[in-house]
């Protein structure tokens, strides 16, 4: 049942379309198509005196403000044709008509086409018409079999001082009266067929009217559903506004965090100085501990020896005491022998006193050792606490640097933007630390495509701050100050850096800056403009590497502050441009731990140029890894390659 209903709806639509075909064929061109045709024709018609004027003035020979408005809308999109401005006005009379470069007239306008064409001869005025007979105008719009066509009078164009070079454009035009008459015969034949079809469809249309009535109820229900959807959309719009406000708040928070990072950087530097002092103090305490432990070891050895001697002496005393007690029992019998024993006893008592004194000294030394052990344990606990504090501070510093990396990568252009502007390109980017002092930048403005590779002073957090400053200034120069010349952009960037870092003279304490290579690509003319500050451009053409030298100046305060020089290069099919920082060529490696140098880099680029652009990044990255070996990375590495595959336009 549903399929049958759909078939009926299709029949109704076809019937309406067939019924309206005669009216469409009579309507011919609308204002939008007229405007597009007029502006497109300007690209193919050349004036022999074109160097003598700087503006295409289009005169409309009727008070049709809608057509004028549509033309102005189309002109706003194109802006210029062959570097000439475009304007449109309504012709008030013959005198104002002669001020135009292009005149457009339709049948029914208050102007005679023959008079306009005669008046335009030798005055370099292009007459475009619509709805006139064959060869009455220079270019005349017609409508045939649903297609917009035009017929062209080459003799009238030549007499008016106009030339058409494009053969394809000529081939699309109707040139002979026979073609013109055939178009009208075909049009009449088509109209007869359409009228017959309309008659056949009228009966079917009447049958479908009842079905249309049945659909009105469903349409009303659908309208109700659409109203509910509009209400839901309104609610979603409110939610979207809330999300937009939240996004703006988030952006403000990011700005506050950037300020906080600057404060944290100063705190980090202060903490690093304190950590260095604490580490120096800990090393001194470790030396003291080592000395104390050595003394304790020696004293323990002496105590062990003394304890051994004491045990020996105590054992001897016990034996002597036993003898004394025996002598006492037999004192009466052995008096003389007792006296002798008494002498020995006195001597032994003296020895015992000495032993007691020695034992007292040992006890004092034991108490001193115990005290020293307690002091050592306190110092060890303090060292462990300081170590834990240093570890925690290091973690906080690392977390802050990681967050700085996220902010820096958010400022960098997305790879999707790079691929949209330069489809055949790659970026080899290896920061030495978490945050990089190298950065790349792309932009598009007024038909120009820009790409840059920069190397800021230092690396890590200081270099990261400089890179974010450079990207911000470049965006401001292009989008707000509307400067498009690479050399002038570098001049303005240097002024902004000097002002921002307060580099008032060459003796300034802050000498930070950046080296940069900046390219501007114009696709329409296939030209490349280049300007560089200490970083040159390498251009690979047919396997040969050509070097375009940069100016020996940096983007900072320096002894020489001359304007930067620009270079213009006419590109050829398959040219590949390479821009980079000095990190790749300065990498230490090889068997003798030497720098790679730019001579070896040029050899790598010439070898890589034999590969497609997607394989070059992997090849150059592998060569860098192979050269570096087990040596640490020397500096941030940035290398960008862009291949130009387009054929130059004529």
Answer yes or no: are the C-beta atoms of 450 and 520 closer than 8 Å.
Answer: yes
For residue 297, how many C-alpha atoms fall within 13 Å in the half-sphere facing its CB? 6
Q: Which two tokens stand for residue 185?
A: 């015969």
Average pLDDT over residues 481-507: 89
**Confidence grade of residue 648 (pLDDT, cut at 50, 70, 90):** very low
Which one has a higher pLDDT value, 486 or 188? 486
The yes-or-no verdict on residue 268 having pLDDT over 60 is yes
Contacts (Cβ under 8 Å, ≥6 apart) of 166: 44
Question: Which residue is it, tokens 């300034």?
Answer: 508
Segment 185-202 shows an average pLDDT of: 70
User: Once rounded to an integer, what is the mean pLDDT over residues 540-563?
Assistant: 91
Side-chain-side CA neighbours of 489 within 13 Å: the count stands at 31
In the predicted structure, residue 25 carries a pLDDT above the cut 70: no
**148 φ, ψ to 5°?**
-85, 125
Does the pLDDT at position 16 exceed 70?
no
Is residue 146 left, alpha or beta, with left meaning phi > 0 and alpha meaning psi from -120 to 50?
Answer: left
- Measured distance CA(261)–CA(255) in Å, rounded: 10
Residues contacting 635, CB < 8 A, separation 6+: 432, 459, 581, 582, 583, 586, 587
The contacts of residue 161 (CB under 8 Å, 6+ apart) are: 47, 48, 49, 122, 123, 124
Dihedral sign, Cα of residue 103, residue 106, residue 107, residue 108: negative
CA distance 637 to 616: 16
DSSP string, 323-350: HHHHHHHTTTTTHHHHHHHHHHHHHHHH
Q: Give the 3-state secondary structure of residue 563.
A: coil
Higher pLDDT, 182 or 529: 529
Compute the chain's Rg from CA coordinates.
Answer: 48
Instruction: Give ∠ CA 507-509-515 in degrees, rounded to 5.
Output: 90
Contact 642, 424 (CB under 8 A): yes
322-331 pLDDT, tens digit each = 777 776 677 6
Pairs from 546-550 (Cβ < 8 Å, separation ≥ 24): 547/602, 550/515, 550/517
Tokens of 416: 């999707």
Contact between residue 153 and residue 39 where contact means Cβ atoms under 8 Å apart: no
- Measured between alpha carbons, how far is residue 284 from residues 156, 374, 394 in Å? 102, 19, 22
> Please, which pLDDT band fits residue 521 given cuts at 50, 70 and 90?
very high
Percent of all residues in the chain with a pLDDT value above 70, rounded to a whole number: 86
H/E stretch holding 642: strand 637-644
Q: What is the pLDDT of residue 646?
A: 52
What pLDDT, on the 0 to 100 scale, is given for residue 534? 94
Give dist(CA 96, CA 149) in Å, integer: 29
Segments in 480-518 forming alpha helices (H): 486-500
Give whole-number Cα distances, 217 to 2, 223, 564, in Å: 17, 10, 74
* pLDDT tier for residue 3 given thresholds of 50, 70 and 90: very low
d(C-alpha 410, C-alpha 466), whole Å: 15
CB distance 183 to 142 below 8 Å:
yes
Element (H, E) at 301: helix 177-329
Predicted confidence band at 593 (pLDDT cuts at 50, 70, 90)? confident
Say which residue, 292 or 565, is predicted with more confidence: 565
Residue 279 has pLDDT above 70, yes or no: no
Higher-scoring residue by pLDDT: 370, 536: 536
pLDDT at residue 20 tops 60: no
Phi-psi label, residue 122: left if phi above 0, alpha if psi -120 to 50, beta otherwise: left
Q: What number is the average pLDDT over the span 543-552?
A: 93
């Amino acid at each position: 049942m549903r399929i049958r209903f759909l078939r009926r709806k299709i029949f109704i639509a076809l019937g309406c379309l067939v019924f309206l075909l005669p009216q469409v064929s009579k309507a011919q061109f609308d204002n939008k198509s007229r405007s597009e045709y007029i502006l497109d024709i300007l690209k193919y018609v050349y004036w022999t005196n074109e160097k003598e004027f700087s503006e295409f003035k289009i005169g409309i020979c009727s008070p049709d403000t809608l057509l004028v408005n549509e033309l102005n809308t189309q002109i706003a999109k194109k802006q210029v044709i062959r570097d000439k401005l475009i304007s449109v006005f309504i012709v008030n009379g013959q005198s104002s008509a002669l001020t135009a470069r292009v005149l457009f007239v339709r049948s029914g306008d208050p102007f005679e086409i023959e008079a306009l064409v005669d008046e335009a001869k030798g005055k370099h005025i292009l007459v475009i018409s619509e709805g006139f007979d064959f060869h009455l105008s220079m270019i005349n719009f017609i409508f045939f079999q649903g297609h917009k066509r035009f017929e062209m009078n080459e003799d009238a164009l030549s007499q008016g001082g106009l030339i058409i070079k494009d053969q394809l454009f000529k081939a699309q035009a109707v040139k002979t009266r026979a073609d013109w008459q055939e178009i009208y015969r075909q049009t009449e034949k088509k109209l007869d067929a359409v009228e017959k079809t309309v008659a056949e469809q009228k009966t079917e249309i009447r049958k479908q009217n009842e079905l249309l009535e049945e659909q009105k109820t469903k349409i009303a229900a659908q309208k109700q559903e659409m109203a509910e959807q509009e209400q839901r959309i309104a609610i979603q719009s409110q939610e979207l506004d809330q999300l937009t406000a939240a996004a703006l708040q988030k952006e403000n928070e990011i700005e506050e965090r950037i300020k906080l990072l600057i404060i944290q950087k100063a705190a980090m530097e202060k903490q690093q100085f304190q950590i260095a002092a604490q580490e120096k103090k800990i090393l001194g305490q470790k030396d003291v501990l080592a000395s104390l432990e050595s003394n304790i070891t020696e004293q323990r050895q002496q105590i062990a020896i003394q304890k051994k001697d004491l045990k020996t002496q105590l054992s001897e005393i016990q034996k002597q005491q036993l003898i004394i007690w025996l002598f006492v029992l037999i004192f009466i019998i052995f008096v003389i022998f007792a006296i002798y024993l008494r002498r020995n006893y006195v001597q032994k008592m003296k020895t015992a006193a000495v032993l007691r004194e020695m034992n007292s000294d040992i006890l004092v030394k034991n108490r001193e050792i115990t005290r020293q052990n307690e002091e050592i344990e306190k110092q060890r606990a303090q060292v462990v606490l300081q170590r834990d504090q240093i570890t925690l501070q290091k973690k906080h510093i690392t977390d802050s640097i990681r967050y700085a990396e996220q902010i820096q990568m958010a400022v960098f252009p997305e790879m999707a933007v790079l691929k949209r502007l330069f489809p055949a390109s790659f970026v080899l980017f290896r920061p030495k630390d978490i945050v990089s002092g190298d950065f790349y930048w792309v932009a598009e403005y007024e038909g120009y495509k820009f790409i840059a590779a920069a190397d800021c002073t230092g690396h890590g957090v200081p270099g990261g701050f400089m890179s974010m400053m450079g990207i911000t200034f470049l965006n401001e120069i292009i989008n707000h100050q509307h400067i498009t010349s690479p050399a002038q952009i570098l001049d303005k960037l240097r002024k902004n850096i000097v002002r921002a870092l307060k580099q008032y003279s060459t003796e300034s304490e802050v000498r930070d800056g950046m080296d940069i290579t900046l390219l501007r690509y114009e696709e329409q003319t296939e030209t490349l403009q280049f300007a560089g500050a200490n970083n040159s451009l390498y251009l690979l053409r047919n396997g040969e590497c050509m070097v375009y030298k940069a100016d020996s100046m940096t983007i900072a305060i320096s002894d020489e502050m001359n304007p930067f020089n620009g270079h213009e290069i006419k590109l050829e099919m398959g040219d590949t441009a390479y821009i980079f920082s000095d990190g790749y060529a300065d990498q230490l490696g090889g068997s003798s731990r030497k720098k790679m140098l730019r001579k070896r880099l040029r050899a790598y680029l010439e070898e890589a140029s034999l590969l497609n652009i997607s394989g070059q990044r992997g090849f150059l990255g592998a060569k860098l890894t192979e050269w570096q070996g087990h040596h640490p990375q020397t500096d941030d590495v940035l290398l960008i390659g862009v291949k130009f595959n387009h054929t130059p336009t004529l």
